[in-house]
Structure 1
Amino acid sequence: MAGAETPEAPEIAEAPRPPLVRRLLRSRTVRAATAAALVGALLGAGAVAWRTDTLPLLGPSPCWNSLGSGSMDALFGDRRTEVEEQSLLNDPMGDDGSYGQCRVTSYEGDRARRRVTVNVHRLDGLRGTDSRGWPSEFLSSGMVPLGEGLPGMASSSRAWIALPQACTGRDDFTGPTVVDIGMGRADFEVSSEYTLRDRAALTGALIDAVNGVIDDFGCSGAYREPRDLPAPVEWDDTRASAFCGIKGLALPAAYRKDLRQTRVSGEGGQARICEAGYDSDETSVRLTTVTDPVLAEIYSADALHSGAPVKGTRGYGKVGGNRAVFRAVCQTGQVMFVLEQLRPAGPGDRFTFTRDLLPTYVAAEAERIGCAPQKLTFPASSAS
């Protein structure tokens, strides 16, 4: 079925995870003296412990001893670096589902030049807390799939990959556990040359980090770094007759003046994202189709509670003032169709885009991914 296949993750066997104290004592990241202090702090206060190092004076590599010299050189060159690192937990902590975080900052003299942040966390599908902020950075139109069985995506400033469920386990209504990495402002691009260089550096560091996390969690197996990533995606003139490159999706004339430029993420990943605006600096709308059933969970709460109800042939959803979410049942599992209006556009500069385009968007996208037919209807009470 075109467009709806989810890349298979490498086979990684689940192994029993040791208790937190024992895992800290044998951690590759924390040396013996530091580990003893961290164990006491964790047991006494229930807090997540941090360590701060200046490299290359100390032995362990940054981020749970995962970022090797190749990744560090690609990201920071020969600049001095400082590391702030949390010890990894057995289970996610707090409402943000965090297992741990690592920050590496490079300096030229006393001036900070670049900061890279690695997060390990479980995305929330129960309360919907990860349905807006995380996708705005890690499901943007600048992303391309990692490919080759790697369940993740990358751009020049952000990259992420899902950990194997055999290693992390998964409860109902939760999204995947991901390792994500970011530097600078999301989607900030200077030139194609910098985009290719930074994207390659981030991807290499991401693979190093996720393999370090898999090992720290006591699981076997590893992800391989992709040999080739798709070419960077570019902004292009909007095609009104096939908006966002989707056959059968026509952009209403009232929006064509404001949505002149369009960019579509690389094909074949866990999600397909299209952003459109007056130009590349003023994105007004985002259309996201998530075909990975586990990743789609992050929008489950919104499909139930985020506006007026929408009924479909094989699905349901909600439409609000500037956001619409529709959940469809397809052969591969659930698929989420998400429309967002980020700025006023169209007639009277109002927020009407999601309601105007949702039915045709879902119908056309369902046809594209082999999930048709999908016919949406709004209840009479919410049709005005």
Structure 2
Amino acid sequence: MSGTDEATAAPGRLRRALPRSRRGRLLLVGALVLVLAGTGLGTWAADTWPWPKDRYCWGAWEQDSGPDFLGDEAFGDDEDGTRTGTETAPTRERPAGRCEVAIAGDYTSSYDGDSVSIGQQVSVEFGPVPKAVQARLAMVHDGFLGGDMAPLPDGLPGMVNGRGGLLVLPESCDTRDGRPTVVTLQASGTYSSGPSYTQDDPADLGGARQAAELLVAAANRGMAAAGCAPDEPLRVSSPVYDLPGEPERVFRTSDDVCGIRGLRLDVEDVADRTGAFTADLQTCSVRGDSNGVPYLELAMVAKPRLAAVFDGIAGERPAARGWRGTGTIGEKHAIVRADCAGRPVTFLMGASSDPGHLAVFANAAAARLGCAPIAPEGAAR
């Protein structure tokens, strides 16, 4: 018999060797169980039975790998909660993608018997910053340069907090027209109890350091799929420094918002928050103390790769008469870019339309960096 004939006949011999009686089948099943138990019982007892674990976000995150939203803790008291993942991976032809992990659960509270519902999401976006000026400022400044964000560790160009972050990818991922590609991470969600109580309840990312690791892991997978990954993958190996403090409540108008002398906001009952305060980055946020409404958002960005997300949108003329550099001051956003201590620095304002606020902030930041004022005397009223 040839080798081909033997290969063809092997299944036939196996079928003939199988027991024909019910008792024989039970003995065979029992033998298989014993074999499996003998080879895997120790693993099973250690709670690491080798069933494949789910992976999410282009394979970047694994079930039970650390943060609560990837483990059973995400479901609270609901033993039947669900976690699902959806994704569209970037490609070389279309270097943009999205992934989301969604958590849902419904159970009866053991405390008061109310019906409880949880719905949480962790989403990642991979793609270039928008072309339109206002859309780009709204996405980057409003979303990721607030006073509650900290710089990413290890020199990575971006920001992070316990609810998400933004990372600017290397130049190899830039678009043909020069726009940087960014990866963003955001956690959201709600908790509802009874017929009328609902509150924000974002998915638990495990803190700023864990969020940074999740963000970088997704970025590495996305870059590999898009064909623009660097020779060495990006890494998070250090703690997240410069974590912002708690918001400072202000019950009357103040002349020193965010600790900046002369920065006055004519509103009461607000909470200001000073975020990053380094040579590369400075942020300040002022929001309503009770309703969280933003009144003023300010940022100074000097870190080159992070500042690159604002390239090409500061215009070609000064923001106003006597201002250094170029920029625009609009109703919702303002941007000014000027040379400061030998490098381009970007000054941003959101929520407020008062150029005096930006003037005070920009001049204070410029003085700290050791360069000439950005706004002329009198602009910072």
TM band (smaller chain): 0.5 to 0.7
Residue in structure 2 matched with residue 45 of structure 1 by the alignment: none
**C-alpha distance after superposition, 1:347-374 (max 9, x if no partner):** xxxxxx5223333322222112233233
Residue in structure 1 matched with residue 156 of structure 2 by the alignment: 150
Residue in structure 1 matched with residue 8 of structure 2 by the alignment: none
Residue in structure 2 matched with residue 202 of structure 1 by the alignment: 211
Deviation at 1:294, TM superposition (A): 4.1
Residue in structure 2 matched with residue 77 of structure 1 by the alignment: 71
Residue in structure 1 matched with residue 257 of structure 2 by the alignment: 243
**C-alpha distance after superposition, 1:16-54 (max 9, x if no partner):** xxxxxxxxxxxxxxxxxxxxxxxxxxxxxxxxxxxxxxx
Q: Is the 8 A contact 2:205 2:211 kept in 1?
A: no
Deviation at 1:147, TM superposition (A): 2.0
* Residue 320 (1) aligns with residue 326 (2): no
Residue in structure 2 matched with residue 160 of structure 1 by the alignment: 166
Where does the alignment leave 5 or more consecutive residues of structure 2 unmatched? 1-49, 76-81, 108-116, 191-198
| Distance verdict in 2 for CA 1:322–1:101, change over 3 Å | closer
Deviation at 1:157, TM superposition (A): 1.4
1:279 to 289, 294, 319: 289
| Distance verdict in 2 for CA 1:84–1:134, change over 3 Å | same
Query: Which residues of 2 match residues 253-332 of structure 1 at below 5 A?
Result: 255-258=265-268, 260-268=270-278, 271-279=281-289, 281-299=292-310, 303-304=314-315, 309-312=319-322, 314-331=324-341
Looking at structure 2, the residues matched to 120 and 360 of structure 1 have their Cα atoms a distance apart, in angstroms, of 35
**TM-score (norm: length of structure 2):** 0.66
Residue in structure 2 matched with residue 107 of structure 1 by the alignment: 104
Looking at structure 2, the residues matched to 169 and 356 of structure 1 have their Cα atoms a distance apart, in angstroms, of 35
Deviation at 1:121, TM superposition (A): 1.0
User: Which residue identity does 2:218 align to in structure 1?
Assistant: A
Deviation at 1:100, TM superposition (A): 0.4
| Distance verdict in 2 for CA 1:122–1:58, change over 3 Å | farther
User: Which residue identity does 1:103 align to in structure 2?
Assistant: E
| Distance verdict in 2 for CA 1:303–1:149, change over 3 Å | closer
1:334 to 344, 362, 371: 344
Deviation at 1:235, TM superposition (A): 0.5
**C-alpha distance after superposition, 1:196-225 (max 9, x if no partner):** 934344223112212222333354312222
Looking at structure 1, the residues matched to 204 and 258 of structure 2 have their Cα atoms a distance apart, in angstroms, of 22
| Distance verdict in 2 for CA 1:183–1:211, change over 3 Å | same
For this pair of structures, how many residues does the alignment match?
299
User: Which residue identity does 1:355 align to in structure 2?
Assistant: P
Residue in structure 2 matched with residue 180 of structure 1 by the alignment: 184
User: Which residue identity does 1:168 align to in structure 2?
Assistant: C
Deviation at 1:106, TM superposition (A): 2.0
In our comparison, the structure showing a higher alpha carbon Rg is 2
| Distance verdict in 2 for CA 1:72–1:119, change over 3 Å | farther
Q: Which has the higher contact order (CA 8 A, sep 6+)?
A: 1
Looking at structure 2, the residues matched to 301 and 215 of structure 1 have their Cα atoms a distance apart, in angstroms, of 27
Residue in structure 1 matched with residue 222 of structure 2 by the alignment: 213
User: Which residue identity does 1:303 align to in structure 2?
Assistant: A
**TM-score (norm: length of structure 1):** 0.65
Q: Cα RMSD over matched residues?
A: 3.8
Where does the alignment leave 5 or more consecutive residues of structure 1 unmatched? 1-55, 343-352, 380-384
